[in-house]
A and B are shown apart, each in its own frame.
Chain A
Amino acid sequence: MNLNRSAGVLIAALISASVALADVKGVTNLPTFTAEEMELINRDTRLILANKNCASRLRQALDLFQDLKQSAGRTLVPAEPVLCSVPAEDGGRASGEGPFDLLQILKEAAGQGTNRTIGIGQTPDR
Protein backbone atom coordinates (compact mmCIF):
# COMPACT_ATOMS: atom_id res chain seq x y z
CA MET A 1 0.00 0.00 0.00
CA ASN A 2 1.61 3.29 -1.04
CA LEU A 3 1.61 6.45 1.06
CA ASN A 4 -1.21 8.21 -0.75
CA ARG A 5 -3.42 5.14 -0.63
CA SER A 6 -2.76 4.60 3.05
CA ALA A 7 -3.41 8.29 3.72
CA GLY A 8 -6.73 8.04 1.89
CA VAL A 9 -7.74 4.96 3.90
CA LEU A 10 -6.78 6.63 7.17
CA ILE A 11 -8.61 9.86 6.37
CA ALA A 12 -11.69 7.93 5.25
CA ALA A 13 -11.53 6.01 8.54
CA LEU A 14 -11.26 9.24 10.51
CA ILE A 15 -14.35 10.53 8.76
CA SER A 16 -16.32 7.32 9.24
CA ALA A 17 -15.40 7.24 12.92
CA SER A 18 -17.79 10.14 13.31
CA VAL A 19 -20.21 9.26 10.57
CA ALA A 20 -23.18 10.52 12.57
CA LEU A 21 -21.76 14.00 12.43
CA ALA A 22 -22.06 16.15 9.36
CA ASP A 23 -21.65 19.74 8.35
CA VAL A 24 -23.51 22.42 10.21
CA LYS A 25 -26.66 23.48 8.43
CA GLY A 26 -26.40 27.11 7.50
CA VAL A 27 -22.67 27.48 8.04
CA THR A 28 -21.47 29.91 5.42
CA ASN A 29 -17.69 29.46 5.59
CA LEU A 30 -16.83 26.42 3.55
CA PRO A 31 -13.51 24.82 4.46
CA THR A 32 -10.61 25.24 2.08
CA PHE A 33 -8.03 22.71 0.97
CA THR A 34 -4.50 23.14 -0.30
CA ALA A 35 -3.53 22.01 -3.78
CA GLU A 36 -1.69 19.06 -2.22
CA GLU A 37 -4.79 18.07 -0.25
CA MET A 38 -6.98 18.38 -3.34
CA GLU A 39 -4.61 16.06 -5.17
CA LEU A 40 -4.97 13.55 -2.36
CA ILE A 41 -8.76 13.95 -2.28
CA ASN A 42 -9.12 13.51 -6.03
CA ARG A 43 -7.31 10.18 -5.87
CA ASP A 44 -9.90 8.56 -3.64
CA THR A 45 -13.62 8.37 -4.45
CA ARG A 46 -14.51 8.20 -0.73
CA LEU A 47 -12.71 11.47 -0.13
CA ILE A 48 -14.33 13.07 -3.17
CA LEU A 49 -17.70 12.04 -1.76
CA ALA A 50 -16.74 13.31 1.69
CA ASN A 51 -15.67 16.64 0.17
CA LYS A 52 -19.07 17.00 -1.47
CA ASN A 53 -21.22 15.89 1.45
CA CYS A 54 -19.25 16.64 4.55
CA ALA A 55 -16.44 19.02 3.73
CA SER A 56 -15.99 20.25 7.30
CA ARG A 57 -15.51 16.70 8.55
CA LEU A 58 -13.02 16.07 5.80
CA ARG A 59 -11.16 19.24 6.79
CA GLN A 60 -11.03 18.03 10.39
CA ALA A 61 -9.88 14.58 9.32
CA LEU A 62 -7.10 16.07 7.21
CA ASP A 63 -6.03 18.26 10.12
CA LEU A 64 -6.00 15.22 12.38
CA PHE A 65 -4.04 13.27 9.79
CA GLN A 66 -1.52 16.12 9.62
CA ASP A 67 -1.20 15.99 13.40
CA LEU A 68 -0.63 12.25 13.25
CA LYS A 69 2.09 12.69 10.66
CA GLN A 70 3.84 15.50 12.48
CA SER A 71 3.68 14.31 16.03
CA ALA A 72 3.86 10.57 16.27
CA GLY A 73 3.88 9.55 19.91
CA ARG A 74 2.36 12.80 21.15
CA THR A 75 -1.05 12.61 22.77
CA LEU A 76 -3.53 13.90 20.26
CA VAL A 77 -6.52 15.96 21.16
CA PRO A 78 -9.22 15.21 18.61
CA ALA A 79 -10.82 18.14 16.88
CA GLU A 80 -14.06 19.38 18.37
CA PRO A 81 -16.89 17.54 16.62
CA VAL A 82 -19.17 19.54 14.39
CA LEU A 83 -22.56 19.43 16.00
CA CYS A 84 -25.11 18.47 13.44
CA SER A 85 -26.80 15.28 12.35
CA VAL A 86 -28.35 16.78 9.25
CA PRO A 87 -26.29 17.31 6.11
CA ALA A 88 -26.04 20.87 4.85
CA GLU A 89 -29.10 21.36 2.73
CA ASP A 90 -27.93 23.94 0.28
CA GLY A 91 -24.21 24.37 0.59
CA GLY A 92 -24.64 27.01 3.27
CA ARG A 93 -26.62 29.64 1.44
CA ALA A 94 -28.12 31.02 4.63
CA SER A 95 -28.54 34.60 3.49
CA GLY A 96 -31.89 35.92 2.35
CA GLU A 97 -30.13 38.00 -0.29
CA GLY A 98 -29.83 35.22 -2.87
CA PRO A 99 -33.58 34.53 -3.19
CA PHE A 100 -34.30 38.28 -3.26
CA ASP A 101 -31.69 38.90 -5.97
CA LEU A 102 -33.07 36.01 -8.02
CA LEU A 103 -36.54 37.58 -7.92
CA GLN A 104 -35.07 40.87 -9.12
CA ILE A 105 -33.23 39.18 -12.01
CA LEU A 106 -36.43 37.42 -13.12
CA LYS A 107 -38.34 40.69 -12.93
CA GLU A 108 -35.69 42.39 -15.04
CA ALA A 109 -35.65 39.54 -17.58
CA ALA A 110 -39.41 39.95 -17.96
CA GLY A 111 -38.88 43.65 -18.68
CA GLN A 112 -40.93 44.57 -15.62
CA GLY A 113 -38.50 46.64 -13.66
CA THR A 114 -34.87 46.73 -12.87
CA ASN A 115 -33.65 47.28 -9.41
CA ARG A 116 -31.11 44.72 -8.42
CA THR A 117 -29.23 47.31 -6.41
CA ILE A 118 -32.23 47.61 -4.09
CA GLY A 119 -31.29 47.17 -0.48
CA ILE A 120 -32.98 45.34 2.33
CA GLY A 121 -35.57 47.57 3.88
CA GLN A 122 -36.48 49.37 0.68
CA THR A 123 -39.80 48.81 -0.98
CA PRO A 124 -39.46 46.71 -4.13
CA ASP A 125 -40.74 48.15 -7.41
CA ARG A 126 -44.02 46.83 -8.68
Chain B
Amino acid sequence: MSDEDVFADRSQLMADLDMIEIFRWYRMVFSERLVGASTSQEEELLATLRLEATYQLAEFYYVLKARGIQSEAQIKMLAELHNGYIADLTKDPAKMARLGLNKDRLLNAMFTADTLPRLLQNWREKPGAFDQSNLARLLAVVMSAETCRKVVVACADVGLLLRERTSYGTMIILSTGALEDILGGCLREARQRIAGLSH
Protein backbone atom coordinates (compact mmCIF):
# COMPACT_ATOMS: atom_id res chain seq x y z
CA MET B 1 0.00 0.00 0.00
CA SER B 2 1.27 3.51 -0.83
CA ASP B 3 2.47 5.75 2.00
CA GLU B 4 0.82 8.71 0.29
CA ASP B 5 -1.99 10.34 2.27
CA VAL B 6 -4.86 9.96 -0.16
CA PHE B 7 -6.78 12.74 1.63
CA ALA B 8 -4.03 15.35 1.52
CA ASP B 9 -4.46 16.76 -1.98
CA ARG B 10 -7.87 18.38 -2.29
CA SER B 11 -8.03 18.45 -6.09
CA GLN B 12 -6.95 14.80 -6.35
CA LEU B 13 -9.55 13.92 -3.75
CA MET B 14 -12.31 15.65 -5.70
CA ALA B 15 -11.28 13.75 -8.84
CA ASP B 16 -11.30 10.50 -6.84
CA LEU B 17 -14.81 11.26 -5.63
CA ASP B 18 -15.91 11.96 -9.19
CA MET B 19 -14.45 8.59 -10.12
CA ILE B 20 -16.58 6.79 -7.51
CA GLU B 21 -19.60 8.64 -8.82
CA ILE B 22 -18.82 7.49 -12.36
CA PHE B 23 -18.38 3.87 -11.26
CA ARG B 24 -21.75 4.00 -9.56
CA TRP B 25 -23.37 5.91 -12.42
CA TYR B 26 -22.15 3.28 -14.87
CA ARG B 27 -23.84 0.39 -13.04
CA MET B 28 -26.97 2.41 -12.35
CA VAL B 29 -27.42 3.64 -15.90
CA PHE B 30 -26.76 0.16 -17.30
CA SER B 31 -29.68 -1.26 -15.32
CA GLU B 32 -31.87 1.72 -16.21
CA ARG B 33 -31.19 1.30 -19.91
CA LEU B 34 -31.71 -2.43 -19.76
CA VAL B 35 -35.08 -1.91 -18.11
CA GLY B 36 -35.85 0.79 -20.68
CA ALA B 37 -35.13 -1.67 -23.50
CA SER B 38 -37.35 -4.34 -21.99
CA THR B 39 -40.44 -5.31 -23.98
CA SER B 40 -42.16 -6.22 -20.71
CA GLN B 41 -42.94 -4.14 -17.66
CA GLU B 42 -43.58 -7.14 -15.43
CA GLU B 43 -41.94 -6.25 -12.12
CA GLU B 44 -40.44 -9.66 -11.47
CA LEU B 45 -38.70 -9.64 -14.85
CA LEU B 46 -37.45 -6.09 -14.35
CA ALA B 47 -36.08 -7.06 -10.93
CA THR B 48 -34.12 -9.87 -12.57
CA LEU B 49 -32.74 -7.44 -15.15
CA ARG B 50 -31.38 -5.32 -12.30
CA LEU B 51 -29.45 -8.23 -10.76
CA GLU B 52 -25.66 -8.24 -10.74
CA ALA B 53 -25.86 -11.60 -12.52
CA THR B 54 -27.60 -9.94 -15.47
CA TYR B 55 -24.79 -7.42 -15.64
CA GLN B 56 -22.28 -10.32 -15.62
CA LEU B 57 -24.11 -12.01 -18.48
CA ALA B 58 -24.13 -8.77 -20.50
CA GLU B 59 -20.45 -8.22 -19.78
CA PHE B 60 -19.67 -11.73 -21.01
CA TYR B 61 -21.50 -11.16 -24.31
CA TYR B 62 -20.00 -7.68 -24.69
CA VAL B 63 -16.42 -8.92 -24.17
CA LEU B 64 -16.97 -11.86 -26.55
CA LYS B 65 -18.01 -9.40 -29.23
CA ALA B 66 -15.51 -6.66 -28.41
CA ARG B 67 -12.60 -9.14 -28.29
CA GLY B 68 -13.71 -10.54 -31.64
CA ILE B 69 -14.25 -14.08 -30.37
CA GLN B 70 -16.15 -15.41 -33.36
CA SER B 71 -14.47 -18.47 -34.82
CA GLU B 72 -15.00 -22.06 -33.77
CA ALA B 73 -11.27 -22.29 -33.03
CA GLN B 74 -11.55 -19.37 -30.59
CA ILE B 75 -14.53 -20.97 -28.84
CA LYS B 76 -12.58 -24.21 -28.56
CA MET B 77 -9.68 -22.24 -27.10
CA LEU B 78 -12.08 -20.51 -24.69
CA ALA B 79 -13.41 -23.89 -23.50
CA GLU B 80 -9.90 -25.26 -23.05
CA LEU B 81 -8.75 -22.21 -21.11
CA HIS B 82 -11.91 -22.40 -19.03
CA ASN B 83 -11.25 -26.07 -18.24
CA GLY B 84 -7.66 -25.31 -17.29
CA TYR B 85 -8.79 -22.49 -15.03
CA ILE B 86 -11.43 -24.66 -13.36
CA ALA B 87 -8.90 -27.47 -12.86
CA ASP B 88 -6.48 -25.01 -11.22
CA LEU B 89 -9.29 -23.67 -9.06
CA THR B 90 -10.11 -27.13 -7.69
CA LYS B 91 -6.56 -27.20 -6.30
CA ASP B 92 -7.00 -23.87 -4.52
CA PRO B 93 -9.44 -24.41 -1.61
CA ALA B 94 -8.98 -20.87 -0.29
CA LYS B 95 -9.96 -19.31 -3.60
CA MET B 96 -12.84 -21.78 -3.98
CA ALA B 97 -14.13 -20.61 -0.61
CA ARG B 98 -13.77 -16.95 -1.58
CA LEU B 99 -15.74 -17.60 -4.75
CA GLY B 100 -18.38 -19.57 -2.86
CA LEU B 101 -17.76 -22.68 -4.96
CA ASN B 102 -17.25 -26.30 -4.08
CA LYS B 103 -15.43 -29.02 -5.98
CA ASP B 104 -18.60 -30.72 -7.26
CA ARG B 105 -19.89 -27.50 -8.78
CA LEU B 106 -16.54 -26.82 -10.37
CA LEU B 107 -16.32 -30.29 -11.85
CA ASN B 108 -19.83 -29.86 -13.27
CA ALA B 109 -18.64 -26.62 -14.87
CA MET B 110 -15.95 -28.35 -16.92
CA PHE B 111 -16.43 -29.22 -20.56
CA THR B 112 -16.24 -32.95 -21.08
CA ALA B 113 -15.93 -35.28 -24.06
CA ASP B 114 -19.73 -35.07 -24.28
CA THR B 115 -20.33 -31.36 -23.79
CA LEU B 116 -17.38 -29.88 -25.69
CA PRO B 117 -18.48 -31.27 -29.08
CA ARG B 118 -21.97 -29.86 -28.45
CA LEU B 119 -20.51 -26.44 -27.66
CA LEU B 120 -18.60 -26.45 -30.95
CA GLN B 121 -21.46 -27.90 -32.97
CA ASN B 122 -23.88 -25.23 -31.71
CA TRP B 123 -21.39 -22.52 -32.59
CA ARG B 124 -20.71 -24.02 -36.02
CA GLU B 125 -24.39 -24.24 -36.87
CA LYS B 126 -25.26 -20.80 -35.51
CA PRO B 127 -22.32 -18.53 -34.69
CA GLY B 128 -22.91 -16.99 -31.28
CA ALA B 129 -25.18 -19.83 -30.11
CA PHE B 130 -24.59 -21.51 -26.78
CA ASP B 131 -26.43 -24.39 -25.25
CA GLN B 132 -27.89 -22.98 -22.02
CA SER B 133 -25.98 -25.46 -19.85
CA ASN B 134 -22.73 -24.66 -21.65
CA LEU B 135 -23.33 -20.94 -21.15
CA ALA B 136 -23.79 -21.68 -17.44
CA ARG B 137 -20.50 -23.60 -17.45
CA LEU B 138 -18.63 -20.61 -18.88
CA LEU B 139 -20.21 -18.34 -16.27
CA ALA B 140 -19.82 -20.74 -13.36
CA VAL B 141 -17.33 -18.58 -11.48
CA VAL B 142 -19.67 -15.61 -11.47
CA MET B 143 -23.09 -17.22 -10.96
CA SER B 144 -24.77 -20.55 -10.29
CA ALA B 145 -26.33 -22.56 -13.12
CA GLU B 146 -29.77 -21.83 -11.67
CA THR B 147 -29.11 -18.09 -11.58
CA CYS B 148 -27.82 -18.26 -15.13
CA ARG B 149 -31.02 -20.01 -16.22
CA LYS B 150 -33.16 -17.46 -14.40
CA VAL B 151 -31.33 -14.49 -15.94
CA VAL B 152 -31.35 -16.00 -19.43
CA VAL B 153 -35.07 -16.74 -19.22
CA ALA B 154 -35.79 -13.18 -18.06
CA CYS B 155 -33.64 -11.67 -20.81
CA ALA B 156 -35.38 -13.86 -23.39
CA ASP B 157 -38.81 -12.90 -22.01
CA VAL B 158 -38.05 -9.19 -22.44
CA GLY B 159 -36.51 -9.53 -25.91
CA LEU B 160 -32.82 -9.16 -25.02
CA LEU B 161 -31.87 -12.76 -25.84
CA LEU B 162 -33.28 -15.48 -28.06
CA ARG B 163 -33.94 -18.82 -26.40
CA GLU B 164 -34.89 -21.70 -28.64
CA ARG B 165 -35.61 -25.32 -27.79
CA THR B 166 -33.81 -27.77 -30.07
CA SER B 167 -35.14 -31.09 -31.32
CA TYR B 168 -32.87 -32.73 -28.72
CA GLY B 169 -34.71 -30.91 -25.94
CA THR B 170 -31.82 -28.59 -25.14
CA MET B 171 -32.06 -24.80 -25.02
CA ILE B 172 -30.01 -22.71 -27.41
CA ILE B 173 -29.26 -19.13 -26.41
CA LEU B 174 -28.49 -16.40 -28.92
CA SER B 175 -27.90 -12.74 -28.28
CA THR B 176 -29.95 -10.14 -30.11
CA GLY B 177 -27.02 -7.73 -29.67
CA ALA B 178 -28.97 -5.47 -27.33
CA LEU B 179 -27.08 -6.45 -24.17
CA GLU B 180 -23.75 -5.76 -25.84
CA ASP B 181 -24.91 -2.44 -27.31
CA ILE B 182 -26.33 -1.17 -24.03
CA LEU B 183 -23.28 -2.17 -21.99
CA GLY B 184 -20.93 -0.81 -24.64
CA GLY B 185 -22.73 2.53 -24.69
CA CYS B 186 -22.60 2.87 -20.91
CA LEU B 187 -18.94 1.87 -20.84
CA ARG B 188 -18.00 4.39 -23.53
CA GLU B 189 -19.79 7.21 -21.71
CA ALA B 190 -18.23 6.25 -18.39
CA ARG B 191 -14.76 6.15 -19.92
CA GLN B 192 -15.26 9.56 -21.53
CA ARG B 193 -16.43 10.96 -18.21
CA ILE B 194 -13.35 9.53 -16.49
CA ALA B 195 -11.11 10.98 -19.20
CA GLY B 196 -12.65 14.37 -18.49
CA LEU B 197 -11.69 14.30 -14.81
CA SER B 198 -9.11 16.85 -13.78
CA HIS B 199 -5.90 15.55 -12.21
User: Which residue numbers of A lie inside 8 Å of B, CB to CB?
Assistant: 27-30, 52, 89-95, 97-99, 101-103, 105-112, 116
Contact = CB atoms under 8 A, between A and B. Distances in A.
A111 B85 CA distance: 16
A109 B85 contact: no
B123 interface: no
B68 A89 contact: no
A93 B143 contact: yes
Interface in B136-176: 138-139, 141-144, 146-147
B179 to A, nearest CB: 15
Interface in B40-81: 51-53, 56, 59-60, 63-64, 67-69, 74-75, 77-78, 81
Contact of A108 (B60, B81, B95, B99): B81
Nearest to A53: B146
Given A98-B141, A98-B142, A116-B85, A110 B74 contact: yes
Interface in B60-114: 60, 63-64, 67-69, 74-75, 77-78, 81-82, 85, 95, 97-102, 105
Contact of A52 (B97, B102, B138, B146): B146
Contacts of B56: 99
Chain A's interface: helix, strand, loop or mixed, by majority? loop
Nearest to A94: B100
Given A93-B101, A95-B99, A107 B67 contact: yes
Contacts of A108: 77, 81
Nearest to A27: B100
A67 B49 CA distance: 42
Contacts of A30: 100, 102
Residue of A27, A98, A103 most packed against chain B (CB within 10 A): A98
Contacts of A99: 56, 59, 141-142
